Amino acid sequence: METLGRIPLIGEKMPAMKVKTTHGVMELPTHYKGKWFVLFSHPGDFTPVCTTEFVAFQKRYDEFRQMNTELIGLSVDQVFSHIKWIEWIRDKLNVNIEFPVIADELGNVAMALGLIHPAKGANTVRAVFIVDPEGTIRAILYYPQEIGRNIDEILRMVKAFQVSDANKVATPANWPNNDLLGDRVIVPPAADVNTAAERLSKYECYDWWFCHKKI
């Protein structure tokens, strides 16, 4: 496993690592080359909040896949524990977990990605890494063990990244339901005075530095 001597940051490449999963051994990020993927850690198998998250991720898995995005979970539990827990979710909750789950038994992945926060215990916190098709980390989220994640927000972020990349724009707060702009997107600020003047006639603007458009 390649590490930087610290946790990776937004805009950097996901560290190369070989991981044991419920779907066999995988090499990240190359296993998902050409696809987006969301790597998310959970504190432990057979725990209530984590179970609700796994069900929520699975129920939205088709939506992620429609955006060329895969899911992969992670905790420091052993692989047999993951398998048994997935069986329990299938048998008791009638939900079949289709995405792989990393068994980080030695904690190497957790340490490389900064998933162990000692003041919160020895288990992994609820982290989320959104990685693009080139293996670049585009977003990092951390949640404490006691707060379950909003899966719809993670979906929204992936969609926003893809819209931003395709159109060279930014997305406003709560996009696509922004209080000021609705589902419109923000045009990048002008870099010179001529472009600033052109913006006012080319787009709808509150001012030359705050222009927006429909896509």
Q: Among all chains, which residue has been given the structure tokens 């539990």?
A: 77
Catalytic residue among 14, 39, 50, 131: 50
* Residue 207 DSSP class: E
Give the rounded distance of the alpha carbon of 24 from its chain centre: 22
On the 0-12 / 13-18 / 19+ scale of CB atoms within 10 A, 45 is: buried
Mark whether 211 is an active-site residue. no
Rounded-to-integer distance, Cα 112 and Cα 123, Å: 14
Q: Among all chains, which residue has been given the structure tokens 């939506």?
A: 63
Q: Among all chains, which residue has been given the structure tokens 């909003």?
A: 150
Known catalytic residues? Answer: 50
